[in-house]
Amino acid sequence: MRGDLERVLFDEPAIHRRLDEIAAQISGDYRDRELSVIAVLHGSLMFVADLLRRIPLPLKLDCVSVASYHGDSQSSGEVVFKEVTVPDVADRDVLILDDILDSGHTLAAIRAMVETAKPRSIQVCVLLSKKKQRAREVYPDYVGFEIQDEFVVGYGLDFKERYRNLPYIGVLRKELLG
């Protein structure tokens, strides 16, 4: 699978070092509060597992599952909720965790869905944020790394459901995007 990458952007130690920093920041910001984490699957799976184990606070974890790409590398703009139950986060301080902020469609839709549950607050944390003009404006409160507008895989991120299990993040070779 390494051969399918143009280059590695963040290796395992770099990811873990950055997670230490974000976790410390989140732990400070949310101390004495009722933290409810909402993980956006599947892409955020590794990120959520590694980040939450660095946050020594009592917290509740819910997962939502969405698809906006339908296996392709272009965002369709249509966001389909696979699991429609809205997490019960009334009066809670919600932290939404997602793998990557691209067009903004996914996080804008999730934020709107979470708002219907009347939480006390909502913040957004993404591992990666693409530097680009977004279709929907989303301003994440915590960002692991800013990246150029390139298609990346690994550490949870997929292309047609592959590469999620790579322990590092890299740019997929353009000719493979098809």
- Label residue 31 exposed, middle or buried (CB < 10 Å: 0-12, 13-18, 19+): exposed
Let me know: does 95 contact 55? Beta carbons within 8 Å: no
Among candidate residues 50, 62, 98, 102, the one labeled active-site is 102
Please enumerate in sequence order all residues whose Cβ is within 8 A of that of 29, keeping only pairs 6 or more positions apart, or say none. none
* Annotation says 102 is catalytic: yes
- Does 140 bind Mg ion (CB under 5 A)? Our answer is no
Q: Which stretch binds ligand IMP (CB under 6 A): 7-15, 22-30, 98-106, 115-123?
A: 98-106
- Does 43 bind Mg ion (CB under 5 A)? Our answer is yes
- Does 101 bind ligand IMP (CB under 6 A)? Our answer is yes
Out of 23, 96, 103, 117, the only residue in the binding site for ligand IMP (CB under 6 A) is 103
Please enumerate in sequence order all residues whose Cβ is within 8 A of that of 129, keeping only pairs 6 or more positions apart, or say none. 100, 101, 140, 143, 145, 146, 147
Window 142-171: residues binding ligand IMP (CB under 6 A): 151-153, 157
Judged by CB, which is closer to ligand IMP: 55, or 109?
A: 109
